[in-house]
Structure 1
Amino acid sequence: MSTSTLPHAFPPDVMAQLREVAEVDPDLVVEDFHAPRAREALAEAEVLVTGWGCPPVDASVLARAPRLRGILHAAGTVKSLVTEACWERGIWVSSAATANALPVAEYTLGMILITGKGLFTQRDTNWTAPGAQIGGIIEGIGNHGRRIGVVGASRIGRRVIELLRPFDFEVSLADPYVDAAEAAALGVRRRQLHGPDGLFATSDVVTVHAPEVPGTRHLVGRAELALMPDRAVLINTARGSLVDTRALIEELRTERISAVLDVTDPEPLPADSPLRSLPNVRLTPHLAGSQGNEIARLGLVVVEELRRVRAGIPLAHPVDRSGLSRAA
């Protein structure tokens, strides 16, 4: 992992727990598997503890790691580091993606709640402005009975659904891999994306949690945006490529809908992008995932997985090779 990642994923208390269950050199942080110290460590390594900034574990790396049995990733996706050579060698892989899903889901819930309170519709903070209130009640806002559409039953999508349960929302889900029975078990209504009864047409908020794969590029395009009701909100914490940026800008310029974007395409946005100045857009710099002290939660997942390995218990968060093609 990168040297900047280590102290956040493994602060002193978490590093102490790691050293209780594994022989690890806390001063050796590998950013280049070809560096001399890395080559020496690989010769003896049984498990790689990885994180943000880890280079690919390819055949040349595995050739120098004859004892390697597993990879424990203190972050989300492993697509950038786990290669076909790892699977062919029979290396087992675990990821902290489930732990990283929690802060993204919390961010999403927060944005759903605050947009329902008029983040976009109530721009004037002057309570004495004419028409600001009618009979002491602000019109056109509120979260009671709000219709939430979740696109993608990913780890994050499912966590969002879980966090929404205590609230008075009507929650729908669109995911081609979820049938009616599973949707019922999740406590949501299963919908198609399109049509008059589809998710985009029947949601006050659409929150995107699908993976970035070839089939999801511009999943949210001109046709989908046009279906959204007036005053609806689009939230994207997945990947920028899932939303057609040009189509979104065109729709936002009508001021008919609003958007909360933690990810964009391109990322970062050009300085002159209209998304930076439109009043019905809130941009955050890809911060919905683990930040600050939340990153230590990812290191704790690695510690717990190592304890399971030592006890001969199956991993709690194994990565399934067959599911990677449709995972984030």
Structure 2
Amino acid sequence: MTLSVQEGTLLNTSRPPTVLLAMDFPLHQRLLAEGSLDRLRSVARVDLARVVTDLATADAGGLAEAEVLFTHWGAPELTEETLRRLPRLRAVVHAAGSVKHHVTDAVWRRGIAVSSAAAANALPVAEFTLAAILFANKRVLDVARDYAALRARPDLLPYFSGHGNYHRTVGVVGASRIGRRLLDLLRPHDLDVLLHDPYVDDRQARDLGVEPVGLDELARRSDVVSIHAPQLPETHHMFDARRIALLRDGATLINTARGSLVDTNALTAHLVTGRLHAVLDVTEPDVPPADSPLYTLPNVLLTPHIAGSLGNELHRMTDGAIDEVSRYAQGLPFAHPVGSEELSRSA
């Protein structure tokens, strides 16, 4: 029996599909723990001894049988040339977030179905951001630092008078998957939420329970700004020196998206003076120079891109990807398909 997943893609459901793993070695050993491996083997034929990192040099016999490519970090790029070595390939199931690093226009021209675990990866980023917002408004890190320095209870009067989460204004930049998950998590809290997203109209904003505003207005009004926009030419340095200067004194800028969205040098200049606070999970460059003040400034929480899936959270993405392989094997459409049009405005 054959069923259509998407136009131009037919699935043979008379036998389990042959799945080929394509990712950094030995990442698959961490992703496919015993339970996950059993699940994948129950819906597909997969050889754990064959993991591809370079399609140009991989064994041609193994490639010729592959119907589904199960990818993760380090997946090889799928070009016209490499796809010719995968004549039976009908689907790419990515057990991570963005597929931009390996899915090319050649994939769409071949009519190959693509799925991503970006929705599963959105949750830990949104959770990280929620914690950062709530801690920023209560100045938790400042209080903890003062407590450690004094080895006695600090004077909390400044924190009582100026901080807290009741009706603080949070500006969310981008109603992406992560941005929308964050909006869901913010809803139970007594916060006033602004949103800037050029693809969200006033009615959609009302449905999301937020106030739509321009980016400059969001910068001026927000106590905390959290960035969840994609990395595109038009978003490069969307928070440049001019816009960073619009942020109110004492505001916190959170970036868990991409480092290039913020002019790191311009932001650092404000952070050094103590005028602003920042939670930076990404920077430009990816690793700041060894002498960067970001490592030691008391008003900066700097982390090495950990907001996304980490440790056992990787298994959430793996489970979701295996669910997609199961749907493919049954001739069902993907629950989390990726289309070529999405990549022009997604991370």
The TM-score with structure 1 as length reference comes to 0.94
Name the Cα RMSD after superposition.
1.6
Superposed displacement of residue 223, structure 1: 1.8
In structure 2, list runs of 5 or more residues that go unmatched. Answer: 1-22
Superposed displacement of residue 128, structure 1: 4.5
Name the amino acid aligned to 2:88.
Answer: R
Instruction: Determine which structure has the larger strand proportion and give its number.
Output: 2
1:54-90 deviations in Å (ceiling 9; x for gaps): 1101112111111110100001111110111111111
Q: Distance in 2 between matches of 1:52 and 1:24?
A: 19
Superposed displacement of residue 9, structure 1: 2.2
- Of 101, 116, 129 in structure 2, the residue corresponding to residue 95 of structure 1 is 116
Provide the residue aligned with 2:128 in structure 1. Answer: 107
Q: Distance in 2 between matches of 1:252 and 1:34?
A: 47
Q: Distance in 1 between matches of 2:76 and 2:325?
A: 22
Deviates more, 1:116-125 or 1:105-114: 116-125
CA contact (8 A) 2:44 2:329 kept: no
CA contact (8 A) 1:8 1:292 kept: no
Superposed displacement of residue 252, structure 1: 1.1
Name the amino acid aligned to 2:124.
Answer: P
Specify the SS of the correspondent of 1:24: strand
Q: Distance in 1 between matches of 2:221 and 2:177?
A: 23
Name the amino acid aligned to 1:171.
Answer: V
Q: Distance in 2 between matches of 1:324 and 1:133?
A: 48
The TM-score with structure 2 as length reference comes to 0.89
Superposed displacement of residue 306, structure 1: 1.5
Q: Distance in 1 between matches of 2:192 and 2:262?
A: 24
Provide the residue aligned with 2:346 in structure 1. Answer: 327
Specify the SS of the correspondent of 1:109: helix
Provide the residue aligned with 1:139 in structure 2. Answer: 161
Specify the SS of the correspondent of 1:170: strand
CA contact (8 A) 2:169 2:222 kept: yes
Residues 87 and 75 (structure 1), Cα distance of their counterparts in 2 relative to 1, 3 Å cut: same
Deviates more, 1:118-127 or 1:226-235: 118-127
CA contact (8 A) 2:135 2:141 kept: no
Name the amino acid aligned to 1:119.
Answer: V
Q: Any runs of at least 4 consecutive aligned residues in structure 1 with deviations exceeding 4 A, and if so which?
A: 127-130
1:197-227 deviations in Å (ceiling 9; x for gaps): x111111100000000000000011122111
CA contact (8 A) 1:120 1:258 kept: no
Provide the residue aligned with 2:294 in structure 1. Answer: 275
Residues 296 and 129 (structure 1), Cα distance of their counterparts in 2 relative to 1, 3 Å cut: closer
1:28-59 deviations in Å (ceiling 9; x for gaps): 1111113343x221100111000001110111
Superposed displacement of residue 133, structure 1: 3.0
Provide the residue aligned with 2:223 in structure 1. Answer: 204
Q: Distance in 1 between matches of 2:281 and 2:87?
A: 41
Deviates more, 1:83-92 or 1:26-35: 26-35
Q: Distance in 1 between matches of 2:35 and 2:57?
A: 28
Specify the SS of the correspondent of 1:150: strand
Provide the residue aligned with 2:52 in structure 1. Answer: 30
Name the amino acid aligned to 2:256.
Answer: T
Specify the SS of the correspondent of 2:220: coil
Instruction: Determine which structure has the larger helix proportion and give its number.
Output: 2
Provide the residue aligned with 1:184 in structure 2. Answer: 206
Provide the residue aligned with 1:230 in structure 2. Answer: 249
Is 1:166 matched with 2:166?
no
Is 1:116 matched with 2:116?
no
Provide the residue aligned with 2:91 in structure 1. Answer: 70
In structure 1, list runs of 5 or more residues that go unmatched. Answer: none
Is 1:261 matched with 2:284?
no
